[in-house]
A = this chain, B = another copy of it.
């Protein structure tokens, strides 16, 4: 047992680095954080860090990619398996809010929304994955509108941006332990999306 425990942090050194770097970027700012700071926070030698990542840009890119991996694995891949479109959309809303509120992943996923300067080629890769996500939500909303014979003037595209916006914005105001619990947010945001807020 002891042996496993001491070995464990080394098993996923890249993920450890990404997590520690994301924390530092948020605490002291992306540009103000050096590769040395990241190495020091992990008690790694500079060589040890450079063995995994060549630059801060590369670290930022992999933090963002990891955030998209999390979203695809825990939201899209699970929602996909739900047969009924409306149930699938409700599941997606629940899982996406879950990722945004996840204490464990917040430091990683928050980085997706801050517009730190990334080299254009890397920025394009992240933006393409963000677009794929919105596109998945858009198609799902179109399925739900069809299923309900909706007479709504709202296009699936505008609805997808509104939904993703209201959920991704949560990190700007959410306080763990506050009046609005995760369950309350889920219930109310789902109702707003399906029925509006003042009906």
Contacts and interface: CB of A to CB of B under 8 A. Distances in A.
A3 interface: no
A150 interface: yes
- Chain A interface residue number, banded: 35 or more
Nearest to A134: B173
A46 interface: no
Contact of A150 (B28, B154, B180, B198): B198
B31 A187 contact: no
A189 interface: yes
A162 B190 CA distance: 10
B198 A184 contact: no
A81 B162 CA distance: 27
Interface string A155-199: 101110111111111101100000110001101110111111111
A187 B152 CA distance: 11
Contacts of A179: 157
B193 A152 contact: no
B192 A193 contact: yes
Contacts of A159: 188, 192, 197-198
Given A154-B197, A162-B192, A165-B165, 12 more contacts: A28-B117, A29-B31, A31-B32, A144-B198, A148-B198, A152-B199, A158-B188, A162-B189, A166-B169, A192-B192, A194-B198, A195-B196
Interface of A: 26-32, 89, 113-117, 134, 141, 144-145, 148, 150-155, 157-159, 161-170, 172-173, 179-180, 184-185, 187-189, 191-199
Top 3 A-B pairs, shortest CB-CB distance: A31-B31, A165-B169, A159-B197
